Amino acid sequence: MATNRTFTMIKPDAVGNGHMGSILNDIISAGFKIKAMKYIQLSQAQAEGFYAIHRERPFFKDLVSFMISGPIVAAILEKDNAVEDFRKLIGATDPSKAEEGTIRRKYAKSIDANAVHGSDSDENAEIEGNYFFSQFERF
Ligand code: ATP
Ligand code: MG
């Protein structure tokens, strides 16, 4: 059964290009409630740990260096059917294939600098939220 939480990051490209406020506004306007949030710059070890599932992929090294290249916003979001609805809101991984009106279509330039992350399953939403936030940092 779908749970009501997902995890997101606003990636360094979007923060650096000044889209943090607009993206948060789109997320909140779409009905997501922010249950935890922090503005941080990841260390190499933190980024490698987060993307461990992609360790063998050819783009892993570039992905990690991109994710540590500047600050990010990490957040836990709540809404009915959160994981699926948030993936719809952000659009396809490659922004050129993302639907009109989606966050990646509006704010991302390429598949490797694609503005936002969204968990791909309830299980990963839980794991990813726990990776970034202690029980005292969420409500
Ligand atoms: P995310 O996990 O960031 O929400 P996603 O679930 O749409 O994105 P994944 O397959 O999990 O896509 O890939 C993680 C990230 O790795 C992508 O957001 C993208 O930046 C990068 N990536 C994925 N595929 C490629 C690729 N073919 N070339 C370059 N980078 C890629
Ligand atoms: Mg993914």
CA-CA distance, 78 to 44, in Å (whole number)? 28
95-127: b or e for each residue (b if 16 or more CB lie within 10 Å)? beebeeebbbbbbbeeeebbbbbbbeebebbbe
Asked if pLDDT for residue 14 goes beyond 60, the answer is yes
Predicted TM-score of the model (pTM)? 0.96
Residues 117, 118, 125, 133: which is the catalytic one?
Answer: 117
What pLDDT, on the 0 to 100 scale, is given for residue 1? 54
What pLDDT, on the 0 to 100 scale, is given for residue 3? 76
Of 27, 56, 59, 64, the residue with max ligand 1 atoms within 8 A of its CB, to mutate for a pocket test, comes to 59
Domains by residue range for the chain, with CATH = 5-137 (3.30.70.141)
Task: Scan for tokens 């260096």, then name that residue.
Answer: 65
Identify which ligand lies nearest to the alpha carbon of 57.
1
Asked if pLDDT for residue 31 goes beyond 90, the answer is yes
Look up 117 and say whether it is catalytic.
yes
pLDDT per residue over 90-133, tens digit each? Answer: 999 999 999 999 999 999 999 999 999 999 999 999 999 999 99
